């Protein structure tokens, strides 16, 4: 597909979609687009009041449920309260920040929220999912390294961007291994990933402070709005593309423009690394992949 816009989303009437982090930014734009196409959209959000305010400006069928991806107890509670089918799980929520902070379970906040929270949520909901799991990653993955000796930055000096890049590389490795497991189970569910490009959202605001100096100028001059930033996610959710695809903007080093399939680093394509990360993530979260592989024919 040479171009893609919200108008290309098929009729989603009767289908249920979960969007994490749907109270603002790309998540809200994604939720509004899918609700506008007829889907029942569940805003899975940490702050219920913000979620309700976002749902109130969304046309269509919406529901707001509490989900704090920085707490495995909250993730388990959300999944335990779920009943019914899910057409799309959009793993959109993400955090950044210059200072080291930790989740309720003691994980480094960016790795714990961006990867482990979504990893646990997906595994706990997977038996309900009939369509796709779309995880919002980033080209920051190209700078990422999975440091199995210190995943939670307990010994080495903390580098915020390094932690963010590790979490985004983990998103792509998770998508690849999830698709491999879905294939082995004979499942028709697809796992895809999306990179929104350079988008002016709240992820650049830290501790209530807006970007300043060169960062503020770059955002003002180069960043897309949230509606454009949501298009790669929507593309990965509804266009007929293979499992383990990665969608992102087509222009300006994949930072602006309409979505298309894009490449990823060699590290993000390392099957052994993906398998190892999956095993470690199961141990850290206490969750397991729920589907059984199809037995080989004799």
Would you please indicate which residues are annotated as catalytic (active-site) residues? 164
Give the pLDDT confidence score for residue 224 in this predicted structure. Answer: 84
Record the tokens describing residue 83, joined without a space. 């009943």
* CATH of 13-284 given 3.40.225.10, 3.40.50.2300, 3.20.20.70, 3.40.50.720: 3.40.50.720
pLDDT tens figures, 250-298:
866 657 788 999 999 999 999 999 999 999 999 999 999 999 998 765 5
Domain boundaries, the chain: 13-284
> Do the Cβ atoms of 42 and 73 come closer than 8 Å?
no
The residue written with tokens 């700078």 in the block is 143
Mean pLDDT (10-residue bins), the chain, 298 residues: 87 98 97 98 98 98 98 98 98 94 98 98 98 97 97 97 97 98 97 90 47 49 81 98 96 74 97 98 98 76
Phi/psi of residue 127, each to 5°? -70, -15
> Do the Cβ atoms of 19 and 51 come closer than 8 Å?
no
* Start-to-end Cα distance in the chain: 41
> Do the Cβ atoms of 119 and 286 come closer than 8 Å?
no
Give the pLDDT confidence score for residue 206 in this predicted structure. Answer: 40
DSSP-derived 3-state class of residue 209: strand
pLDDT tens figures, 221-236:
466 889 999 999 999 9
């Amino acid at each position: 597909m040479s171009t893609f816009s919200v108008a290309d989303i098929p009729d989603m009437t009767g289908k249920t979609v979960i969007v994490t982090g749907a109270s603002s930014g790309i998540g809200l734009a994604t939720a509004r687009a899918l609700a506008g196409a007829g889907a029942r959209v569940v805003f899975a959000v940490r702050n219920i009041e913000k979620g309700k305010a976002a749902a109130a400006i969304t046309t269509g069928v919406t529901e707001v449920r509490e989900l704090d991806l920085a707490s495995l107890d909250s993730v388990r509670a959300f999944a335990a309260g779920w009943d019914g089918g899910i057409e799309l799980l959009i793993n959109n929520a993400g955090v950044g920040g210059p200072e080291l902070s930790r989740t309720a379970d003691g994980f480094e906040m960016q790795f714990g929220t961006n990867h482990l929270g979504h990893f646990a949520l997906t595994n706990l909901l997977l038996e309900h999912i009939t369509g796709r799991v779309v995880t919002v990653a980033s080209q920051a993955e190209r700078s990422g390294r999975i440091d199995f000796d210190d995943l939670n930055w307990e010994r080495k000096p903390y580098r915020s961007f390094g932690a963010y890049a590790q979490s985004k590389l983990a998103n792509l490795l998770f998508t690849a291994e999830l698709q491999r497991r879905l294939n082995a189970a004979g499942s028709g569910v697809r796992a895809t990933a999306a990179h929104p490009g350079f988008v002016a959202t709240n992820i650049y605001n830290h501790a209530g402070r807006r970007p300043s100096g060169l960062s503020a100028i770059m955002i003002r001059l180069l960043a897309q709005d949230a509606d454009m930033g949501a298009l790669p996610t929507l593309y990965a959710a509804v266009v007929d593309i293979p499992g383990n695809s990665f969608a992102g903007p087509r222009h300006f080093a994949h930072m602006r423009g309409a979505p298309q399939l894009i490449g990823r680093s060699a590290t993000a394509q390392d099957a052994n690394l993906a398998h190892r990360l999956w095993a470690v993530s199961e141990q850290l979260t206490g969750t397991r992949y729920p589907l059984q592989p199809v037995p080989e024919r004799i």
